[in-house]
Amino acid sequence: MFSRLFSLLKADNNNEPATVRRRHTRRDCDRCVTVIDGQTYPVENWSLGGVLIHSDERKFGLDDVINMTMRFKLRDEVVDVPHTARVVRKTKNKVAFQFKPLTQQIRSNFQNVVDDHVASQFAASQSQFY
The per-residue pLDDT for range 85-101, each reduced to its tens digit, is: 999 999 999 999 999 99
Residues in the chain with pLDDT < 70?
1-24, 128-130
Fold of 21-117: Thrombin, subunit H (2.40.10)
* Among 107, 93, 114, 95, residue whose Cα is nearest residue 36: 95
Spatial distance between the Cα atoms of 70 and 120, rounded to a whole number of angstroms = 20
pLDDT value for 129: 58
pTM: 0.75
Question: Secondary structure of the chain: what % helix, strand, coil (to 5)?
Answer: 25, 35, 35
Spatial distance between the Cα atoms of 13 and 10, rounded to a whole number of angstroms = 9
pLDDT value for 118: 83
